[in-house]
Structure 1
């Protein structure tokens, strides 16, 4: 379908530490950036609790979405220059798809809630589903801007997020094992955390990307750049995203939100500052407007108010989160897992409610996998295009990628208050501390 898209009189650029300039040429993109729903992403951190471990990681979902847009724009430019469609269904790039791809790239994280994953876990929200809802709800500014392209355009953009859009090339630009989303967050997160694990040759990868009938493939002479990307992603997950201290802060946040929810459900927040913006989440009556009213700052404000709340657990967990007092952790295995209930009981005997002061946290990632037709979840494998046009799946060519293929890598940790490891417990519970430490140091990895 051909859209009548208005170009800006003069290209607008946004300075960016990763891409130098982010180029905006279409009025609809600039209008989307200026909506209240998109501006809200400035107030949601990209890496959530990771900023407690990597102090530079203060970047937002806003900057990431802008970066994903820019990478998608570069892909479209490459495809238009080098692989323009000559006839219907020839498997090459139809540049009429550009505006759908650009809008989906820009808006792909629109539905993230405050502190993302901990919030989703407690309130059972799905950021991808909320992204689609915000895009398709007539009440949002985003929807009104998209409808100016065409009445059905919001649904088309939402279908890219849902991975049901008819053009597989557009879907794979935004969501696949090597896409604009992942490429931007690896480079951006590496930059802001001060690590080098996520660095790879973006310019080379963009150069060797090419469309084909089934989606997007990569030229054989660029295979090593793709291989390096997969390894960079693996390293970032193991060294940054799964960092035990960041997870310790996420456990504190999860328990804090859980305590607030439990107090509300038992009518124990009466007579104190009511967290009115959280009430719809406590009552499971969330509207789109309710969802959009929350960001990291709103939660932090409530946590600050709760420092004066009479409930000791809510007060203590708020203090721990605001002042970076993460839970400690010990790595456990199948062999030591049976110890966890006993350890939790010891923590409770030492004066901590085990429901709020102990937790298990499992973080595993699949660095690379090949398509399995028996799986219900769709997965796109990385295809390397040979000189004769044939496609070969990446792990069959790369020994390094093959070593990671199909392997869930990560760890399982038991979280508990740091006080349980104090060296010289001198209170009446000292026996419990000593017993706890004996089990931890003998059976687990601190």
Structure 2
């Protein structure tokens, strides 16, 4: 593709080999807000189980960018291969004519999709403030970003990604800024932003390429994000169960056009390669992410984050109380926010920041105990475990969140009289191979009776996908060693009975 001429730099990666970079990408990578990702682990505590799993969101982000471009190149190649086969006009055969500006925007969106993650990744979300509080401090700087966030909702890391992308973009020189439309980059990551489309002119036709670009980076059941972390997490954990052949996936993808919009589509004959990917993902979840010690540490950190917020009403904890500056050094709230994220690596946040928040909470003694156990690698004991496999699921069936909330609440009521509030954790993990399938814009090209091909959504293709749907509920009780003897056979029996009762109500098992 013509964009190859823009790739003037390179980085050597153990997963993908040489990853090539444009000059503009190097500018974004060199900014401190991106460099900080070197100190944010891809899997927060996985290294405490698999010692070599020290990889970060920095190299993962590079991998997603690389794979996004590989997907685009293969879409271009396949459009030639299948143009005659899909002669009904369902295949878009002008990928090679996409403006270089838009290709650069896709690559930057892939590179920057995780830049808003805070220390300890998803568990930092418990410290995020509401839209109104953040808007009060920096809303004037980014009004278009705040317009896409629902009122009274909590800020998510995707919103922070949009803010940080704007900050880096504004720091570039004028010539660099003119190379892209930064709103398009944000739109690819967050579809609710601004225009919700990216329209280009190809052969005198106006075409919306946003559905294609969004699906390349983030979609169900396969995207560049999942493709990279499966290979990378498998490699660095040393557990060879996340391996799949992405060349087979690349052979099965086609750029489909429908009503002036371009979509990422899979050929019906490529179902088996999708299944291979789903099975690899399921194995990695079972053997790596769900490992009891990894989940114990994650549950412990969750308790620390929760009790840090358990404070006096007049002393609330939020993102801006975390980043409160020295009174002698006046600075803007935006600069405070930026400095907080740059300063707080995983290790700094765990060892320096969290202890301060714990000391100011209503449960400081418990918090200190948990933190010491985390830092000194003393996982809580697993005192109960149960797995639930609902039957006869469809690809469109979601995880039953009401069941999870009900079970947690009921089990908490059973256990809390025996163990202090924050010294145990009810950990319920779930995995859904087709999570968000009704939101995805990926298509399936299926042969019809007349010999042509129909463009179907994945959610309309249940007859092809339902048999591969698998939702597992893994329920565990972790207890601090100081209280593990409080969980006797009688309490375990009560927990099991309550679980069975709720399973019967929600799943008719």
Where structure 1 has 5 or more consecutive residues not aligned to the other structure, the ranges are 270-274, 348-352, 373-377, 423-432
CA distance change for structure 1 residues 264 and 66 in 2, over 3 Å: closer, same or farther? farther
Q: Does 1:367 align with 2:433?
A: yes
| 1:395-418 per-position Cα deviation (integer Å, ceiling 9, x unaligned) | 98898942243x532223333213
CA distance in 2, matches of 1:327, 1:279: 31
Which residue, 181, 188, 204 being the options, matches 1:153? 181
Q: Is the 8 A contact 1:105 1:174 kept in 2?
A: yes
Gaps of 5+ in 2: 84-88, 129-153, 199-208, 326-332, 389-402, 498-509
- 1:135-284 alignment runs, 5 A limit: 135-136=165-166, 140-145=167-172, 148-150=176-178, 153-163=181-191, 164-166=196-198, 167=209, 168-177=211-220, 178-213=222-257, 214-262=262-310, 278-280=322-324
Q: CA deviation at 1:381?
A: 4.8
Q: Does the 8 A contact of 1:277 with 1:294 survive in 2?
A: no
Which whole-Å CA distance do the structure 1 matches of 2:72 and 2:358 have between them?
Answer: 53
- Note if contact 2:105-2:185 (Cα within 8 Å) is conserved in structure 1: yes
Q: What secondary structure does 1:418 align onto?
A: coil
The 3 A distance-change label for structure 1 pair 258 and 421 is: closer
1:114 touches 1:299 (CA, 8 Å); kept in 2? yes
Corresponding residue for residue 314 of structure 1: 367
Deviations 1:233-289 (A, max 9, x none): 2222233223332221112112223344446878799xxxxx9983559xxx88641
- For residues 146-181 of structure 1, the C-alpha deviation after alignment (integer angstroms, 9 at most, x for no partner) is 962438722110011112343211111111111111
Say if 1:78 and 1:308 are closer, same or farther in 2 by CA, change over 3 A: closer
Paired residue secondary structure (2:378): coil
Across the aligned residues of Structure 1 and Structure 2, the Cα RMSD in angstroms comes to: 3.9
Q: Matched residue of 1:187: which SS?
A: helix
Q: 1:268 to 1:41 in 2, by over 3 A?
A: closer
Aligned to 2:473: 410
Matched residue SS, 1:360: strand
- Are 2:33 and 2:341, in contact at CA under 8 Å, matched by a contact in 1? no
Tell me how far apart the structure 2 counterparts of residues 306 and 371 of structure 1 sit (CA, whole Å). Answer: 42
Structure 1 residues 391 and 267: alpha-carbon distance in aligned structure 2, compared to 1, 3 A threshold: closer
1:321 Cα offset (Å): 0.9
**Cα distance, 1:389 vs. partner?**
3.5
Q: Is contact 2:428–2:476 with CA below 8 Å preserved after alignment? A: yes
Q: Deviations over 1:155-208 (max 9, x none)?
A: 110011112343211111111111111100111111111122211101221233
Q: Secondary structure at the match of 1:57?
A: coil
- Alignment match, 1:438: 490
1:331 and 2:385 aligned: yes
2: CA distance, partners of 1:45 / 1:121: 18
Between the aligned partners of 2:436 and 2:413, the Cα distance in structure 1 is 38
Aligned to 1:380: 441
Distance of 2:69 and 2:223 partners within structure 1: 12
- TM-score for both structures, normalised by structure 1: 0.78
SS at structure 2 position matched to 1:54 = coil
When structure 1 is superposed on structure 2, of 48-57 and 153-162 the one drifting more is 48-57
TM-score (norm 2): 0.69
**Using a 3 Å threshold, how does the CA distance of structure 1 residues 134 and 268 change in structure 2: closer, same or farther?**
closer
Number of corresponding residues: 405
CA change 1:441–1:397 in 2 (3 A) is same
Shift of residue 44 of structure 1?
0.2
What residue is the counterpart of 2:344 in the other structure?
294
